[in-house]
Amino acid sequence: MTSQFLQSHEPLLSPPKAIGSAHVTMTRLAQNSHQTSHKTGSEFVISNGMKLDMKAGLMDAGFGKVKLTNTIGPTLVHPAHTDAQFMVAGDHMVQVLIIEQWRVSEMFHLDPAVVSRAIETVGYRQIADPVIFRSARDMWHHADRQGAAAQLMIDGLLHVVLARLMQHADLDQPTPKDTGLTQFQLARVVDMMESHLHLTVTMEMLADAIGMKTAHFARMFQNTTGETPYRYLQSWRLVKARGMLEETDQDVCQVARACGFASAAHLLTALNSDLGYSPGLHRRGRCT
């Protein structure tokens, strides 16, 4: 598929891959400081920051400038037929999924109007959802595998990504504004989680960061994300730990300490039970 979005991001870090029954185009982009227009055609784009070292970042999609979150993970959806301006200082790498809306409607037997409305609703919001991040990342790992199992896995992960986006769009039961966190409140909380992964993070700390009482914050957070703050933080720690194990030379003991786990055994158990992931024995090392 010829994508206006990819044309504005050449050269690409990796060749585009067509994956799954919906013929999703997937690639990774590495960029330096830039100011550019991100245009889409009939496709919509789901992007996730994989590595970020941004000194500053602003996005203008027609409703004022919004600061870009300098953390790994938040999902940004570019709806079809849109044009947004991005001004970024610093390096970053993102993974993108490029999908034709009609294919989603056809594959999942959804009303095209419902799909379009959902994508427009979540468009250009910075969605901090570890489930979307994990699923999109796992699609990358399965992309080069052959056979029916890999195809089913990719389709299943795409189901998860789209279902979570539909949840965030609140199409079925819109949530009153006073029962959920705002985009900026959630970004502030996620920033605190990310910067304190190696430390003990309490509910009180997170609530204080946005000026709320603890009980009210816990309820608002779960209404917004579908998960408790503790569970959400645990997911972030696991995503970070898996990334460090796959992309650095640190052993499990070092990664456990960096991500706030009490021990290497605790981390290994959590990785296996939550993600079904186990690093090779040669990575385990000895704690000192």
CATH number assigned to the domain comprising residue 146: 2.60.120.280
Q: What are the Cα distances from residue 132, in Å, to 15, 44, 110, 138?
A: 22, 16, 20, 10
- Mean pLDDT for the stretch of residues 141-148: 87
The pLDDT of residue 143: 87
In a domain, 234, yes or no: yes
- d(CA 218, CA 15) in angstroms, rounded, equals 43
> Residue 2 class from Cβ within 10 Å (0-12 exposed, 13-18 middle, 19+ buried)?
exposed
- d(CA 282, CA 28) in angstroms, rounded, equals 28
Do residues 169 and 75 make contact, with C-beta atoms less than 8 angstroms apart?
no
- d(CA 174, CA 109) in angstroms, rounded, equals 22
Do residues 49 and 182 make contact, with C-beta atoms less than 8 angstroms apart?
no
Phi, psi of 138 (to 5 degrees): -65, -30
Residues in the chain: 288
Residue 17 has pLDDT above 70, yes or no: yes
Same domain, 154 and 208: no
The pLDDT of residue 281: 47
In a domain, 288, yes or no: no
Structure tokens at 28: 């990774």
Same domain, 107 and 183: no
Q: Which residue has the higher pLDDT, 162 or 85?
A: 162
**Interacting residues of 249 by C-beta distance below 8 A, sequence separation 6+:** none
* 145-200 tens-digit pLDDT: 888 898 899 999 999 999 999 888 875 444 455 567 876 678 778 888 888 888 88
- d(CA 116, CA 56) in angstroms, rounded, equals 31
The pLDDT of residue 161: 94
- DSSP letter string, 163-178: HHHHHHHT-SSPPPGG
Number of structural domains (the chain) is: 2
Same domain, 24 and 156: yes
> Residue 242 class from Cβ within 10 Å (0-12 exposed, 13-18 middle, 19+ buried)?
buried
Q: Which residues lie across from 97 on neighbouring strands? A: 26, 46
Residue 225 confidence class, pLDDT cut points 50, 70, 90: confident
- d(CA 251, CA 72) in angstroms, rounded, equals 21
Same domain, 9 and 94: yes
Task: Name the domain boundary from 143, 169, 195.
Answer: 169
Q: Domain range for residue 229?
A: 177-283
Same domain, 19 and 76: yes
Pairing state between β 17-19 and 24-31: antiparallel
Q: Which residue has the higher pLDDT, 133 or 188?
A: 133
Provide the b/e sequence for 261-276 (b: ≥16 CB within 10 Å): beebeebbebbeebee
Same domain, 10 and 120: yes
pTM listed for this prediction: 0.61
β strands within the chain, DSSP E: 17-19, 24-31, 34-39, 43-60, 65-67, 75-78, 83-100, 126-127
Same domain, 56 and 182: no
- d(CA 83, CA 266) in angstroms, rounded, equals 45
Task: Name the domain boundary from 169, 196, 212.
Answer: 169
Residue 202's domain is classified under what CATH number? 1.10.10.60
Task: Name the domain boundary from 152, 169, 186.
Answer: 169
Residue 214 confidence class, pLDDT cut points 50, 70, 90: very high
In a domain, 218, yes or no: yes
Q: What percent of the chain has pLDDT over 90?
A: 17
The pLDDT of residue 171: 53
Same domain, 43 and 98: yes
Same domain, 237 and 216: yes
Pairing state between β 83-100 and 43-60: antiparallel
Q: What percent of the chain has pLDDT over 70?
A: 83
Do residues 84 and 137 make contact, with C-beta atoms less than 8 angstroms apart?
no
* 244-263 tens-digit pLDDT: 888 888 888 999 999 999 88
The pLDDT of residue 38: 82
The pLDDT of residue 172: 47
Same domain, 21 and 115: yes
Average pLDDT, rounded, for the chain: 81
Same domain, 151 and 17: yes
Same domain, 152 and 45: yes
